[in-house]
């Protein structure tokens, strides 16, 4: 008993040390239980990130409680009840403060998209400087996974509460794994797996970011990609994605385009090193540029634990840029301090 207590205390202290920026170095350690500033495991999966007024906000699926496989399941659609979208804030991307559930489940209405019996995945939040609103898009599903829609919510503050506005299929097309991207000119786009995940739609959004404009492209036809993470570097657009094998890992792929609504070209698996063909047993969710650091872009992945989804972990790796060659090498741990400061 005492021995167990000592081991637990030592392990907790080690995790706090490894992820603390107050003690050097400021490390990211793959697949560990990552504690927030209150000492609880960070619970934000299929996440997206927002940088606003010097603060990073990490939004994700709050997967709380028992993981179940529905009785009717013909595939491994493991799930927890919908509890909502969580938010954490940080100025250094290592020490995260829990800001609460910013979009909550709706428990008393079984027909509501956010009822615990439904599915809520891959929330992403962007800021609209014209309306000064924070806009969230997420994948919302019926319990039987046939809805394939995008749910939209809005808030006056990055830490919520978000008001749910409803769901729809953008441009009348299925919308499952999804992300949002805001370009330098303020135009926003939703990238969604569509047509039973066989293709990807890129949907341009209205100026208030609440609807599609009707302008869209169909991409990666019959290529079955999920888990999109989009970023821009040196004028080019990149999309990291996974294949379609549910919670199980598969090979990542990077695609590049000169314009968002233009031609996208797949350029192969950027992951290198041990288990690179399985994306290090993880799946892409977001790429975040680190402001104040030279060329530091973090590729963020979920390491799903399909039979205990609450215990899914995180893999965060720096992307390496060598002219046109882009790689994501495996590293057990790394430190942001390795990257040159840049104003
Ligand atoms: C994955 C997808 C996840 C989740 C899961 C359900 O392929 O990326 O977001 O939907 O399937 O099995």
Q: What is the pLDDT of residues 312-337, one digit of tens each?
A: 999 999 999 998 899 999 999 999 99
Taking CA atoms only, the protein residue closest to ligand 1 atom 5 is 246
Question: How open is the CA angle 128-131-132, to the nearest 5 degrees?
Answer: 65
Contacts of 231 (CB under 8 A, 6+ apart): 181, 237, 238, 240, 287, 289, 297
pLDDT of residue 222 exceeding 70: yes
Q: Is 111 helix (H, G, I), strand (E, B) or coil?
A: coil
Q: 247 C-alpha vs ligand 1 centroid, how far in Å?
A: 6
Q: Quick: pLDDT tens for 117-127.
A: 999 999 999 99
Q: Look at residue 323 in the predicted model and tell me its pLDDT.
A: 86
pLDDT at 343: 77
Q: Give 4 or 265, the one with higher predicted confidence.
A: 265
Q: Tell me if 247 CB under 6 Å of ligand 1.
A: yes
The reply to whether ligand 1 has any atom less than 6 angstroms from the CB of 302 is no
Does the beta carbon of 253 sit less than 6 angstroms from any atom of ligand 1? Answer: no
Q: Which residue has the tokens 């549910």?
A: 246
In this prediction, residues 98-121 reach a mean pLDDT of 98
**115 in Cβ contact with 142 (< 8 Å):** no
Which pLDDT does position 2 carry in this prediction? 46
Closest ligand 1 atom to Cα of 76: 12
* Cβ atoms < 10 Å from Cβ of 259: 11
What Å distances lie between residue 18 and 24, 73, 106, 333, 334, CA to CA? 9, 40, 37, 9, 10
Residues contacting residue 60 through CB under 8 Å, at least 6 positions apart: 43, 44, 45, 46, 47, 48, 85, 86, 123
- Tokens standing for 192? 């969604």
Residue whose Cα lies nearest atom 6 of ligand 1: it is: 246
Rounded to the nearest integer, the mean pLDDT of the chain is 93
Specify the residue with its C-alpha closest to ligand 1, atom 2: 246
How confident is the model at residue 324, as a pLDDT? Answer: 83
Q: Where is 230: in which H helix or E strand?
A: strand 226-233
* Test site for ligand 1: of 75, 120, 226, most ligand atoms within 8 A of the Cβ: 226
Cβ of residue 226 lying under 6 Å from some atom of ligand 1: yes
Q: Is residue 24 scored above 90 in pLDDT?
A: no
Compute the distance from residue 246 Cα to the ligand 1 centre, in Å.
Answer: 5
């Amino acid at each position: 008993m005492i021995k167990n207590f000592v081991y637990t205390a030592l392990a907790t202290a080690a995790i706090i040390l490894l992820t603390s920026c107050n003690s050097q170095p400021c490390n990211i350690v793959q697949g560990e239980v990552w504690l927030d500033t209150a000492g609880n495991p960070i619970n934000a999966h299929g996440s997206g990130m927002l940088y606003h007024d010097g603060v990073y906000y990490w939004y994700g699926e709050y997967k709380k409680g028992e993981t179940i496989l529905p009785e009717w399941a013909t595939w491994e659609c493991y799930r927890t009840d919908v509890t909502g979208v969580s938010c954490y804030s940080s100025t250094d991307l290592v020490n995260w403060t829990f800001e609460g559930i910013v979009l909550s489940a709706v428990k008393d209405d079984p027909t509501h998209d956010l009822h615990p019996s439904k599915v809520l995945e891959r929330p992403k939040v962007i800021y609209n400087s014209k309306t000064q609103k924070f806009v969230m898009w997420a994948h919302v599903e019926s319990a039987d996974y046939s809805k394939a829609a995008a749910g939209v919510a809005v808030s006056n503050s990055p830490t919520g509460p978000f008001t749910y506005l409803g769901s729809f299929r953008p441009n009348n097309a299925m919308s499952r794994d999804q992300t949002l991207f805001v370009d330098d000119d303020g135009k926003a786009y939703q990238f969604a797996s569509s047509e039973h995940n066989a293709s990807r739609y890129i949907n341009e959004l209205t100026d208030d970011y609440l609807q599609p404009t009707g302008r869209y492209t169909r991409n990666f036809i019959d290529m079955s990609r999920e888990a999109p993470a989009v970023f821009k570097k040196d004028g080019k657009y990149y999309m990291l994605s996974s294949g379609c094998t549910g919670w199980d890992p598969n090979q990542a792929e990077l695609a590049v385009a000169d314009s968002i609504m233009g031609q996208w070209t797949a350029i192969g698996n950027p992951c290198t090193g041990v288990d690179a063909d399985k994306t290090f047993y993880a799946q892409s969710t977001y790429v975040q540029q680190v402001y104040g650091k030279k060329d530091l872009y973090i590729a963020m992945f979920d390491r799903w634990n399909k039979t205990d989804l609450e215990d899914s972990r995180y893999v965060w790796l720096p992307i390496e840029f060598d002219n046109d060659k882009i790689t994501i090498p495996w590293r057990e741990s790394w430190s942001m301090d390795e990257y040159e400061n840049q104003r």
